[in-house]
Structure 1
Amino acid sequence: MPTLLPGSSASATPHTDARRLHRPRWTHPRAVTGAALVAVCMLLGGLLVTNVAKTTEVWAVSADVRAGEPVRPGDLERVDVRLDPVASGAYLDEPDADSLSERLSGAAWARDLAAGELVPVAAVAGETVVSGVEVPLQVTGTAMPADLGPGHRVDVWVAAEQPSAGTRSEAARRVIDDVAVVAVHGDASAFGEGSVRSVVVLVEDERGEVLPRALAALAGGSATLVRRMGPSA
């Protein structure tokens, strides 16, 4: 027959061990609270990951553009960005190329944008009705910006031909102010800096006062095109 140690009780020991080994029930308040906290943390974590991964598709320019140039849908590309709803409304977000082309029909850039920049709605000027006459100019490669193209705005200056001996040279003067370039024909790199290129500009002269004086000056001198820069161009 087993001998009990002093101070021990045969009847208490089994019940005490049973209480120590008994697992807590899930209905215990602390267990319920812990499970609820874990569920809430998992839910918040999932929402955070979803919001971080959520992107918006907007349009960006794939090459540098200048103020005054016509907006060509081919110069734009769709990019995925993370923007809040308020900020995303400030950029072009047409869903496809067809709707983009419809919106940009006849539009011009209101300011310069660098390649990769998102296109703000404010950077696209609405369609404007322009009237005038197209004037072809013969300009050497060194007398115009090398990257001059349609949509750029220029001032036309004329310098008199090389004066003869004993004749005082005249200062160059501006004969046409702030006109749009319609077309540029010829490649300066193919013919060298001294090559002559044809530049067509659109002259708005409702009163017929500018063009006669400009053509007279161009007949006796050489033209230099000075490009205007900035949003007002």
Structure 2
Amino acid sequence: MDTKVLDLATPVANRWRRPGWRDPRLLAGVAMVAGSVALGSWVVQGAERTTQVYVARAALTPGSAVEASGLGVAQVRLVDVDVARYVTVADGLPQGAVALRVVAPGELVPRSALGSAPDLDVRPVAITMAVAPSADLAAGSLVDLWDVPAPTRSTAGTDAAALPRELAPALTVAQVRRPDGAFVTGGSTVVYVLVPTEILPTVLAAVAGDGAVQLVPVPGSGG
């Protein structure tokens, strides 16, 4: 039996060759590094970018005119605040803008808080207080409005006091005029309360009646 021996080719070891500048792997690596640098630079620049946004110096109450001269300006970082929600100095204020809701002092002025006078469904009603209110009562505070009827004379000749009734809860105070301020009304504090138009007849009847209309501050809402 003849035995045949096959001559196999001797394997040649592959030598490492230094990649040239046209090597796809080198080009991909350079692109990745360049992209990372560009992304990092964009993030840093975005974090440092700011825009000017209007901020309330004093409380804005529904119906109060909103003008640039009465507002402050804050530099806001774009990464911290959704600037689209607020009124920027670049965009400016709408002509004849009024506040539709309370904007607290130091708060950025939201676009949704501004509108025009016809958009309001409240009216200011002056309430004269015989007893000086707390110093916490200020524009933007909330009060409950109560009607305290005058005592009625019974058939026995004695006075019978009727129970107070609540006219409206959590109404917004638009303005407080105290005797020691620039406006003095008979030495009494006058509080302007924003009353919804749907209950305006009831409130006006109580104010003009023989009884007394009392304001009860809502705890925690004062200035």
- TM-score range (shorter-chain normalised) is 0.5 to 0.7
Instruction: Indicate the residue corresponding to 1:16 in structure 2.
Output: none
Q: Does 1:121 align with 2:111?
A: yes
Q: How does 1:1-233 map to 2 (within 5 A)?
A: 27=20, 34=26, 37-38=29-30, 40-54=32-46, 55-57=49-51, 59=53, 61=55, 65=59, 68=62, 70=64, 72=66, 73=68, 74-83=70-79, 87-95=82-90, 99-100=92-93, 103=94, 105-110=96-101, 115=106, 117-122=107-112, 124-129=113-118, 135-139=125-129, 140-142=131-133, 146-149=136-139, 154-159=143-148, 167-174=159-166, 181-186=173-178, 196-201=188-193, 211-218=204-211, 221=212, 223-226=213-216
Give me the whole-angstrom Cα distance separating, in 1, the residues matched to 2:59 and 2:99. Answer: 10
Cα deviation, residue 45, structure 1? 1.2
Residues 61 and 76 in structure 1, CA contact (< 8 A), matched pair in contact too: yes
Gap runs ≥5 in structure 1: 1-23, 190-194
Give me the whole-angstrom Cα distance separating, in 1, the residues matched to 2:215 and 2:136. Answer: 11
Other structure's SS at 2:190 match:
strand
Amino acid at match of 2:88: D
> What's the C-alpha RMSD, in Å, of the aligned pairs?
4.9
Cα deviation, residue 176, structure 1? 7.1
Residues 175 and 214 in structure 1, CA contact (< 8 A), matched pair in contact too: no
Residues 157 and 174 in structure 1, CA contact (< 8 A), matched pair in contact too: yes
Amino acid at match of 1:128: A
Cα deviation, residue 157, structure 1? 1.9
Structure with bigger gyration radius = 1
- Residue by residue over 1:82-130, the C-alpha shift from the partner in whole angstroms, topping out at 9 and shown as x without a partner, is 3499x5433333416xx23xx1733214366574x544433x1411336
Give me the whole-angstrom Cα distance separating, in 2, the residues matched to 1:170 and 1:132. Answer: 29
Other structure's SS at 2:208 match:
helix
State, as a whole percentage, how many aligned pairs show the same letter.
19
Length-normalised TM-score, structure 2:
0.54
Residues 51 and 75 in structure 2, CA contact (< 8 A), matched pair in contact too: yes
Give me the whole-angstrom Cα distance separating, in 2, the residues matched to 1:69 and 1:145. Answer: 23
Q: Per the alignment, do residues 68 and 47 of structure 1 end up closer, same or farther by CA in structure 2, a change over 3 Å counting?
A: same
